[in-house]
Amino acid sequence: MIGPFSLWTLLTLSASAQSAGDAVITEISIAPNADVSEWFELTNRSGHTLDLSGCTLYEGSGAEGDWANWGHQYTIANLTLANNQRGVLMNNDGADDCVAYTSTALTTCDVPPDVVYSALSFNNTGTERLALVCNGTLIDAISYAWSTFSADCSLANNKNCSVALRETNLTATANDDWSADAWCVPEGSEYIDEAGTTARGTPGETNVCPQILGSCGAGQAVFTELMIDPPDGYKEFIELYGAGGSECNLSGCQLMEGPNPDPFAVEDWDVITLTGQANNLPLMSGDHFLLARSSEWVAGTMVAGEFVGQIPADYTYSGISLPNTEESWVHLVCDGSRVDSAPVDWESLVALCPGGNCAANLNPSGYTAAANDALSGWCVPPPGNTFTNPAGEEIVATPGARSVCLSLNWPDPGEVIFTEALISPQGDVPEYLELKNITSAERDLSYCALRRYRLGDDGEENPDSVKLTLLGADGVDVSVIAGGIQLLSYKDCVFPDENGDCTLSALYDTIQLSATEDEHLQLLCDGVLIDEVSLYHDGEGIRPGHAMMLDPGAETTEGNDDTSAWCEAAFSQRVEGLCDVENGDCNYGTPGVQNICLTDKPTPPDPVMRCSSSGGTGAWWSAALAMLAMAGRRRRGVR
């Protein structure tokens, strides 16, 4: 029979039998909201029932192991935990002695504390320590710093957050690693705190942490959309597509911008490092991930003059800006390896965006890290893909969705050619150009560009002379039927209708041809050169008011390169609608209809004038009026 003294001796030995690691600090609420108590969680990992009564808690800063000088201590009066049981210890400075309620009514306590302590207070700044010591033996201790996880808590919508130990690390050794590898802000686990607000944590329950994903590898993330030149420069966005077939982690990856196609070249790179909650920034396979500069929204709509967000950013960044007027590259580098690279060259696409504010889209037929390396793999969306950005301005883009490319039935090289030009018109008549579709099918010219350049003294293209204008920039579709002719005029109609509207010509601006210099004129569609001619009005002896016309026998892209294939419009080809008889200003040519290089002699005689052998009559204009109906110009709403 055991006497009273022997029984007390056994109880004392049992209470003092705790060993290092028997109890583990597994969760801690460091920086709760106002009027909410701090708390932490201890888990029994001893393999047997554990009595922690009489053990002491120490908290503060100071030398490791020098517990008595850390600043705060509290002795636990009574706490017994079954094996693997989690005990919740709560500070007594809150409104109630309850860690978690079942509802905002605060009538039923779901997680009451196992211990209500005093004297301890966690520090929100710097690094401090929390330790459990039983009978002089250190059972467990952690060094904590709220700053390590405050950003993760902010990503959880600024809720009151605890920091939880991962279930794979429930040991007194593993919890020494105060990082996202061992600890986390719990994922998706919420409760109602003392203040009646939603908090993020798992007091007394199994901890739930975000999965630590593997870093994205080569080709798993692909650049698919770049808003390079938005109306508000701080509303740029970048889109990545998950192309790897499985989820990967963007956290820790570097987004780089600079002039070199090699991200590992020595350059003055602009670099940002992507960071996610618990070191996780997941990119799902098949998803579009939006990174927005200086905004939590990419696009939305305007309601009563106020922006209402509809398409949120998955990540907000600053520190990188995509250049509008020079060639550049963006790179994604993860874990020291290139994941994807893409060119940034807005000037190669701006001609296809008449209203401005278009994104650069990767062609959906090539959603791969290889396809987006070439500028030819990029496009702009059709005009109908309009959104409002957070600055309240309209953009043309496809954020968060599969790209759509502006794609029309543009001509191939040589299918549409220059056939006539009135460079030095007389009177109040606009300069005009003529394009002819020499194929047997309709061709679109909307968003095709006219490009003018001149040669410098060195015989090379003078960059200061380059001018470019976009057909259909007024929002009117430009197309030309098989064998038809498209008349283009500078800023004004050649033949306005009774309402003053253009019905037979498409307008262009920016470019105005000179009669006194050799002009090189190009037609480009989707960035592809369709035709090019050299026109030198005075140099070829063409008189003011007379159009330069291509001989019908030379209607090929090679034929119109030969200056001898061009003739001067004859006097008998006077265009009645383009003559001011009273002032003696007349213009001669065949605008909008088939050229006829006549052989009738000029009056007065002019030996400089070149005419082909094809015949013609002085009664040209009366026949031409009937031919105008055959012109290939058709004006419709943009598709």
- Domain positions in the chain: 16-200, 221-396, 416-637
Bridge-partner residues for 480, per DSSP?
Answer: 443
With cut-offs at 50, 70 and 90, classify the pLDDT of residue 83: very high
pLDDT above 70 for 551 = yes
Instruction: Tell which CATH classification among 3.40.640.10, 2.40.70.10, 3.40.190.80, 2.60.40.1260 matches the domain 16-200.
Output: 2.60.40.1260
Q: Average pLDDT of 479-504?
A: 87
C-alpha span between 73 and 71 (Å, rounded): 7
User: Which pLDDT score is estimated for 607?
Assistant: 44
Between 204 and 158, whose confidence is greater?
Answer: 204
Q: In this structure, are residues 83 and 46 in contact, taking their beta carbons and an 8 Å threshold?
A: yes
Task: Output the pLDDT for position 98.
Answer: 93
- Confidence class for position 637, pLDDT limits 50, 70, 90: very low
Whole-Å CA distances, 556 to 133, 415, 435, 544? 94, 8, 12, 26
Instruction: Count other C-beta atoms under 10 Å from residue 120's C-beta.
Output: 19
354 versus 456: the higher-pLDDT residue is 456
Q: Is the distance from CB of 276 to CB of 291 less than 8 angstroms?
A: no
Determine contact, residues 204/98, Cβ cutoff 8 Å: no
Partner residues linked to 59 by β-bridges: 72, 130
Note whether 637 and 477 are within 8 A (CB).
Answer: yes
Given this model, what pLDDT does residue 180 score? 85
Is the pLDDT confidence value at 217 over 80? Answer: yes
Q: Determine the pLDDT at residue 361.
A: 96
Q: What is the secondary structure of 225-290 as a DSSP string?
A: EEE-S-SSGGG-EEEEEE-SSS-EE-TT-EEEEES-S-TTS----EEEE---GGG--EE-TT-EEE
Contact 539, 549 (CB under 8 A): no
Given a cut of 90, whether residue 476 has pLDDT beyond it is no
Q: Which CATH class is domain 416-637?
A: mainly beta
The CA distance from 370 to 222, in Å, is 9
Position 422 scores a pLDDT of: 96
Report the sign of the C-alpha dihedral through residues 599, 601, 602, 606, in that order: positive
Domains 16-200 and 221-396 equal at CATH topology level: yes
CB 274 within 8 A of CB 250: yes
> How confident is the model over 421-445, as pLDDT tens digits?
999 999 999 999 999 999 999 999 9
Average pLDDT value for residue range 370-393: 91
Give the class (CATH, top level) of 221-396: mainly beta
- Quote the pTM value: 0.57
